[in-house]
Chain A
Amino acid sequence: MSETLVVIVRAVIGFFTLLIYTRVLGKQQISQLTYFDYILGITIGSIAAALTTDLTVTAWPHWVGLTVWTTAGLAMQWVTLKWRFASKYMDGEPTVVIMNGKIMEGAMRKARYRASDLMEQLRVKDTFDLGEVEFAILETNGTLSVLKKSQFHPVTRSDMNLPSQYQGISTELVYNGVVVDQNLEQVHLDRAWLATELRRKGVSDASEVFLATLDTSGSLYVDTFRDHVASPVDTGDFPGPY
């Protein structure tokens, strides 16, 4: 009867169960989580931790708890996806905290949202002057969406009637020293072209490249494993070593 062995086996069970369940729960980004999703995640994690180390109870009740919480979360996701009213009822609705440049104190009080919170979240959105804001909406996931007054919008190419080019996402051609042939084929290029371009940038072989990407304008970005930085910037404020 080995305590260590039992903990190891239970940790493996907890780890892979959690991995499978979180995969099933979906791809919601942390920033898109509602408060409930956040609590759900914490609870499921805490049950998994108890499953691993609480040896006073068998693993089974913990595992059942984990499964029930995950299933309930999944059921909620399904209900809110299918039924708009349920979605509004459970996740709440966004709160308009600034409307036509005026702060909505009543709405803020209801949401238990302080003026200091508003100022802080505006600063995060690069807005340091309340006078620039037309609308500010507190989203259900706690983030603030800001619409500035039209006179404070940055000038765009279309405002200036300047021609603009299509800009898509760049494609990885070399990753960690390995040529990604699938991506090369996707952009209708081959290894010979890549080798020529790399030589032009002073790289003799793709194995020297950490990352190479091609943007939609045809420009190749290459970063090699060896970085020849003449005077590196040190952002640390302690001499170390750490």
Chain B
Amino acid sequence: MGRRVLLAAIPVTLIAFFVAVMLSAGILKRPTGTADDVEAWLSQVEERVIAERWDDALEGAERLASAWRKVAGRIQFSAERLDMLDFRTAIARATGSIKVRDGAGVVVELAEARALWARIGGRY
């Protein structure tokens, strides 16, 4: 009897584990501290750009990119790859715009990044 239960439990557990892995992006993108808080760094960079604190904004953009790398490692098995690549591109563009002090460009890129961030791990 115990053996039969075990034999049935193996596939059920495996399937449950697979489902958990495939749907984990929404949970795994949540921050564990300030170093991987992508959403907070998006806001920080935007605020610094609007206040025209360009050096701080550039440092914030680097922290944002670093936070993204940490989160990307966790969510890569369950998030859509194209969204992840687009997010990375949006951050790179925002960083470029900060370097040339193009405030409008940064805000546009960050808005796109925010929309992508909301989509990653969401079922739509």
Give A contacts to B, CB under 8 Å.
1-3, 5-6, 9-10, 13, 16-17, 20, 23, 55-60, 63
Contacts and interface: CB of A to CB of B under 8 A. Distances in A.
Contacts of B82: 56
Contacts, number: 46
Contacts of A16: 14, 18
Given A13-B18, A20-B11, A6 B80 contact: no
B14 A6 contact: no
Minimum-distance CB pairs A-B, first 10: A20-B11, A55-B81, A60-B22, A1-B72, A13-B18, A59-B22, A9-B77, A1-B76, A58-B80, A6-B76
B27 interface: no
Interface size class of B (residues with CB under 8 A): 20 to 34
Interface in B40-74: 69, 72-73
Scoring B14, B18, B23, B123 by chain A CB atoms within 10 A of each residue's CB, the highest score goes to: B18
A23 B14 CA distance: 14
Nearest to A20: B11
Contacts of B25: 58
Contacts of A57: 80
Contacts of B15: 17, 20
Contacts of B18: 13, 16-17, 63
Contacts of B69: 1
A63 B84 contact: no
19 contacts: A1-B69, A1-B73, A1-B76, A1-B88, A5-B76, A6-B76, A9-B77, A10-B77, A13-B18, A13-B21, A16-B18, A20-B15, A23-B11, A55-B81, A56-B80, A56-B82, A60-B22, A60-B23, A60-B78
